[in-house]
Structures are given as structure tokens and as C-alpha cells.
Amino acid sequence: MDYKHLIAGALAFSLAACTASCSSKNSSDSASAGSTEKTDSADVTGTTRTPPVPDKASDPNAVTFDDGDFSFARLITDDKKSASGELVIAEVQGNKMLRLKDDMKVGQEGKVQKIAIHAAPLIGQENLGKVRKITFDAYADAKAANYLNQDGELVQVPGTICGGGGTVVALKDKEGNGKWCDFSEFQGGEYDFDFSGAVHGEFKFLLADTGECWDATMDDANFLIMRWGIENDSDLYIDNIVFYDENGKSIPIIKDELAAAAATATTAVTETATASETTSASETTSE
């Protein structure tokens, strides 16, 4: 799939949204979202804030990364402003998450961190057409004390955490390619601690009735999570991905069953090939 072509419109949307709504904040005028630091923080009113813990999955059909598997996720580096690095599993306060480990080779200004999540390995090809909403939790850390607050101090906090996403749908455009569908943005921030609390993302197929959604005929149904407006040396974390149908019911995650079925099929093919080779060798010998 040609991400450079398909994501061009999404990036234009992203930068516009970033300018319009992902405004810079600081610890004196924003509520804390979370952190892994052990030290409490006091705001201007004297109220003590404690670092929040990562959110637990509230739905039994959530992708939690607790099993360490992220084979269905991919780092997207399709242009010079795409963050480079690697995807890994990180454990934060006992909670495993998918982490985009940014190598900081791309400058902070205009940088976009992008992760693609492939849906079929999670919910099955036959269930792609049922998806009407996707939710997830996003987090960010701070790896350096490079955030300038309104007091003129450089502090180790992520700052603004915002972004959006999109996907290619089954509906074709005039050129016969799948149309690009933009999802709503998510926005939050952390201005007191070096690790944020959950920023909840919600992506909806708002025009599903017109065909702007996935279906079972698609070769690679996936959605893109993008973070922009980055204000410090910072990594992006994703957790608790849930797919919902038109009735608001979560769609079961069957990746283990799919993987087992694929392994069984591979074994059967291998055994058949081996048996065929043995038979062929036997016939040759008898001749």
C-alpha cells in the first residue's frame, strides 16, 4: 500500500488541526494527566497532585499488549517529518503498552509520530465490515528537561499530547483507489510529571452508511494513529485498543485463534509437501 499517496491528505488535516486546537500549555493553567515519577507535585493553589497510574482495560475485548505481541502494528516513516525509531513493548507501572521509541533523528518542529494498526489479524477478515468505532489510550513521556514553562523554567514533562488518525476505506475514489477517511483528533497533556496519564482517542466511521468503512474484501484494512504538536523529546505509547460494531458492542479479539489456525495450515502444507517428496523419491527408487 502506498502510504505516501494515501497519507498526504491526512497530514494536511493533521497540521491544520494542530495549529487550531493543540495549543501549548503549562503547569500553572492545566490539570495534570499523569506521570511515573514518584515525587508529588503541587499546583498554584497548593493542592498536591500525585502521578496517576495507567488505565486498566475496561472492556474484555481490548488489545492490551500484555502478551507482548505487536506483530499487527507498524511504524510508518513515509516522509521526512515522520518520526523514526522502533516499536517495542514497554512496561509502565506494571502495565504493558506499545511504545514508539523515537530515536530523535527527526527534528521536533513539524514532526509526526505514526503507528499503523492492522485490524484483520486482531478481529478477523470477516469482521472488518462490522467496525464502526475504535477507541484507544495514548500516553507520552519526557526524555529530557526541554519543555519551557511560563515561568521560564526548563522542565522534564511531555507538554501537549495531541493528534488524530485516519484509514483507507472500501469505498473507491475516481481513480479506483480506496478513499482516505480522516478520524477525529485526540487532545490532552502533561505539565507536572515525566509520564502522562491516558489521553483517550475515539475514531468513528461517521459515513459508514455511504460505504466509508471497511469490508471483508479489503487486502489490508488498517488505521493510522498520529501524534503531532510534540513539545519535548518524547515517545508515544498506545494501549487498550477496542473495536466496536454499530450497536456499540465490542468485537472479540481472536488473534490467538487466527494465529493457531495459520500455524495449523502451514503445518498441513509442510506435511503434504514432505509426503509428496517421499512418494516421488520412492517411485524413483523403484524404477
Residue type, 91: E
pLDDT category at 266 given cuts 50, 70, 90 is low
Question: What total of structural domains would you count in the chain?
Answer: 1
Residue 269 inside a domain? The answer is: no
Sheet with 178-190, edge to edge strand ranges: 73-75, 113-118, 222-228, 159-172, 178-190
User: Which structural domain, as residue segments, surrounds residue 87?
Assistant: 3-253
Residue 228 inside a domain? The answer is: yes
pLDDT category at 232 given cuts 50, 70, 90 is very high
Residue 85 inside a domain? The answer is: yes
Give the whole-angstrom CA distance, residue 280 versus residue 115: 48
Residue 281 inside a domain? The answer is: no
Residue 280 inside a domain? The answer is: no
3-state helix, strand, coil in the chain (%, to 5): 20, 35, 45
Q: Specify the range with the lowest mean pLDDT, choosing from 81-95, 160-174, 230-244, 270-284.
A: 270-284
Q: What percent of the chain has pLDDT over 90?
A: 70
Residue 272 inside a domain? The answer is: no
Q: Is there a contact between 134 and 243 (Cβ–Cβ < 8 Å)?
A: yes
Q: Which CATH number covers residue 111? A: 2.60.120.260
